[in-house]
Structure 1
């Protein structure tokens, strides 16, 4: 099953197959979203109590996917984009203040999304394997959407970008929110499914079906490369 028929929700079961996309490299950007040190850090399991070990084990599939699939394939996708003159941009969650008083409400609420990531700390940096090179642009946000909380829309406009390829985490949160914002601004959007992850595979797959065909086209990295016929 190809990207044209995969990841379809109830709404699009009978929809015709989309045409191949024809993206000019000069009008295309690759946006890597929130692959930051904080999300890859893990404690020593042996130091945790029973509840901590259970939580550790619940997150192990995510870490396995990130280290074995998402990060290596995103690194390869970045190399491909750079080789073909596709702009590479990065978004990260980070606050300007040490106490996080400039964060959005969603990042101040209790629970997993309560993120205190001052901009200069190690935890808030993009992982080294996917770091920006040269004058590649990184935007810093305190929102889920990389467009809502930054000047990214203006940057993309000034760069002459019409098409945005998205990778990163989390599929069902910041990736999906960014994709929706891009679609509402009339960018053509591709989500590279094997360069994304959610907390669970079920959440990842569910969100891909929700956003596919209305806000973006979802495909694997190899399908994207084959379709665009670049080096």
Structure 2
């Protein structure tokens, strides 16, 4: 039986490394030192043709991606929009990272984005495909960093920006859980930021990949929790 100390987010996503570890302390959310970072929720990842327009030989692959698209549409994008409203309403910083290259042929991209396959990303900065999805688009003077790397820290000045903003806790959301989100989380942890990942604001190509990566990240690089659990910590009910 799960003890009360290990209920909810304190129990989920425990790898073998932390199977017997004590319950983590609740993160202390200081609004002026906390930022929300949305990673790579871009048009290229959520737009696709109708199935009837896909060649017959490619439809099985198309179908394999349908759960991801369903999750993005029904869970991840609505939850990120909700989270953005929550952070904005409390005066907490919201930042956005996106993959985009400054050149039309992408010659300045990192090697990981030039190799053949899924990660071969050519997203010129002014094209529709590279833009952030409208439902979670930046507002006002929210900061956007543009990268040609997986980690939002490695390829940008984000570390300096966060430092200058006085941020110590970074709450992460976006895609893909096992790629750019994970790389960013590791970089943030290595730079001694406290990191929280909102599991229902992220997606990977499959739920198996999503859950496996959260198991790896949790407790060593970040705390993994749902949006409602984070809200309870950030704005506790004092009634």
TM-score range, shorter chain: over 0.9
Which residue pairs with 1:89 in the alignment? 95
Which residue pairs with 2:206 in the alignment? 200
- 1:21 aligns with one of 27, 30, 42: 27
SS of the equivalent of 1:180 reads helix
SS of the equivalent of 1:73 reads helix
Q: For residue 216 of structure 1, report the CA deviation from its aligned partner.
A: 0.1
- 1:30 aligns with one of 36, 52, 56: 36
- Paired with 1:228 and 1:133, the residues of 2 have a C-alpha distance of 22
Task: In structure 2, list runs of 5 or more residues that go unmatched.
Answer: 1-6
CA contact (8 A) 1:29 1:161 kept: yes
- Paired with 1:225 and 1:8, the residues of 2 have a C-alpha distance of 21
Task: In structure 1, list runs of 5 or more residues that go unmatched.
Answer: none
- Paired with 1:69 and 1:48, the residues of 2 have a C-alpha distance of 25
Query: Paired residues, what number?
Result: 231
**1:10-32 CA distances to partner (integer Å, 9 max, x unpaired)?**
10000000111111100000000
- Paired with 2:108 and 2:71, the residues of 1 have a C-alpha distance of 32
CA contact (8 A) 2:29 2:233 kept: no
SS of the equivalent of 2:9 reads coil
- Paired with 1:51 and 1:215, the residues of 2 have a C-alpha distance of 41
- 1:224 aligns with one of 219, 222, 230: 230
CA contact (8 A) 1:84 1:230 kept: no
Q: For residue 50 of structure 1, report the CA deviation from its aligned partner.
A: 2.4
Please identify runs of 4+ aligned residues in structure 1 that moved more than 6 A.
none
1:104 is aligned to 2:110: yes
- Paired with 1:15 and 1:85, the residues of 2 have a C-alpha distance of 35
- Paired with 2:236 and 2:152, the residues of 1 have a C-alpha distance of 27
Q: What TM-score does the superposition give when structure 2 sets the normalisation length? A: 0.95
Map 1:1-231 onto structure 2 (within 5 A): 1-229=7-235
Q: What TM-score does the superposition give when structure 1 sets the normalisation length? A: 0.98
Q: For residue 166 of structure 1, report the CA deviation from its aligned partner.
A: 0.1
SS of the equivalent of 1:21 reads coil
